[in-house]
Structure 1
Amino acid sequence: MKKLTIVILLVISILVGCTTKEMSKSYGIQDLVFQPYTDIQKDSVIPLGIKAVPERYMEVANQQGKVVRFDYVTHTYDIQNRVMKKYAYVYIPYGYETSTDRYDVVYAMHGHTGDVTSFPGELDDLSDIKNVIDHLIENKEIKPMLMVFASYYHDNVDMDTDDYDASLTEAFGKELQNDLLPQFEHAYRTYARSTSEEDLIASRDHRIFLGFSMGAVTTWYRMMDSMRYFRYYVPFSGSLYWGNRTMVNQYGRDNPNWTAQLLENSIIAQGYKAEDFYVLALTGTKDFAYRTVNMQIEDMKQHSDMFHYDSDEVNGNFTLLLGENEEHDYHAKRLYIFNSLPIIS
């Protein structure tokens, strides 16, 4: 994974299934007019910026990757601990079948009420986001990469939860660690030489976890339990203040001073240090997630022994980027996928 010493192009992943009305009602967040977050070091080598998606990128590319279904076996990892047959959608870049190269992997998670189609679309009706990814690879703006679009829902079926899926986002860690990740990387040519624990850990620099909204909560939780497998974390429009109800009630939803300590304690408990990870957090200035995301970032800045705030990986290990006037919608999702992949590839 290359160092973040290129121009940063802002990213937010917005999933259709998570509506502003539902989440605002859940978290008591009112419609506010937010000011852009500008506390980036003035001497940074990476200025903020965002480019519009060229119209042609939304059309079918000459060199087309494909999206396939990947079936795997897992468990519910609850009291029942029943066996489940689940599936993810996988983006396979153009040229994979004829290449002997190994590929970086992005594991991507949807938001509340979303599913594995939230980024790539249906297998018989792929989204123009897939076209955007094809064009980025074809034009050598990103390295060819595998992308795994997973779901935290049991049996791939939307569940009626009383916490907007927070408990599911936390529990997904065991499914990812024990089942999805090793089964997928056994089937595909990644930087893991085998699916032994040793080889999966050794290849962590070539693995990214990202997610939007409750998928961002999933991403923060993976920092807390899966750091041995992932170096890069890209939470879009979600924070630990949206975590499971027991945890949030313990610390307080509007208490800004606990998320960073919780993260730091978890990182240390896993045996890792400040130089072992990079976080790129993103949200929009008109996104209802802005308030709690900003609260968490400000809290992390107070723990400078672990979290070194800056706009690149050379001088820091976490960054917050803002999309001015961006909200939760499909346009933003497509726009920020286009801008994010060149950063993390």
Structure 2
Amino acid sequence: MNTKETIQLIAKLVSIPSPSGNTYEVISYVENYLKELNVETMRNRKGGLIATLPGKDTNKHRMLTAHVDTLGAIVKEIKPSGRLKLDLIGGFKYNSIEGEYCEIETSSGKKITGTILMHQTSVHVYKDAGKAERNQENMEVRLDEVVHNAEEVRALGIEVGDFVSFDPRVQITSSGYIKSRHLDDKASVAILLQLIQQLRAEKIELPYTTHFLISNNEEIGYGGNSNITPETVEYLAVDMGAMGDGQATDEYTVSICVKDASGPYHYELRKKLVQLAKDNDIRYKLDIYPFYGSDASAAIRAGHDIVHGLIGPGIDSSHAFERTHESSIENTAKLLYHYVQSKMVL
């Protein structure tokens, strides 16, 4: 797999707005990417995309998933001043979007830019500019339009319920980093797409029929809990590894999750992933994510009788100004390449 190409694909994906609930454009992009590879795809009723590669064994299936939906917001209220009050989509804090450029998409498809600010931003006017709480009451969107009241905002086509996406501010550095919003989980989506491309290019027949679910509601808890075939035995979520105090995950290895807020992941599958990493000189870290849930845990909660696992690239500053390194992308891609060609644990 060409890691540089994967990073360029990540940059493209993060630049397509796709807050949970409004993912049609990015799903269409992924769908067209797979069609060019002559890969069979279908959309589920929730709007997610499933690609299937036939394998030697059609009685036992695998499913890998990564999610293309991102954090975002929705217009809650048009204020008398002409500014917008937001309601958040996904699990993050208001302070992580303070000062961020954003884009409002109206129901007619018109896109209008703005900036997310504290109401009490000006230190020349507000004594509590630094101390005021960053919350729904104090933060607002300043539109890049000449508007003075709610009526003029509505005349632009903006209404309650319109989706708000954040400028990803993607940058690729000469030192091998990619920093951007929404690496969670578009980094993993790009890795899976490149994996499919590699399997096609090398004409590899997989040992089991394998499905790739590009889910579109993970950030709100139910992206990958349906459309799992009865034949599916192993279900592997590919999502970011969380970094912070007490965490083993870093930006240079593939993170193999042992446990998250949903409980432990399948022990035998976890041990197998570790062995594959050792056998193929893949740098990895085992870790626990304390405040985290994945599409694999959502599938377990939905009642599917599957072996579930979770791996992914290490992402710094998750749900804020995220960053990872090309070596983490590479190690994750290598582990997935060997995993899809391996025998199942059951």
Q: Same fold (TM over 0.5)?
A: no
Considering only CA atoms, is the larger Rg found in Structure 1 or Structure 2? 2
Structure with the larger helix share? 1
TM-score of the pair, normalised by structure 2: 0.32
Structure with the larger strand share? 2
Q: Which has the higher contact order (CA 8 A, sep 6+)?
A: 1
TM-score of the pair, normalised by structure 1: 0.32
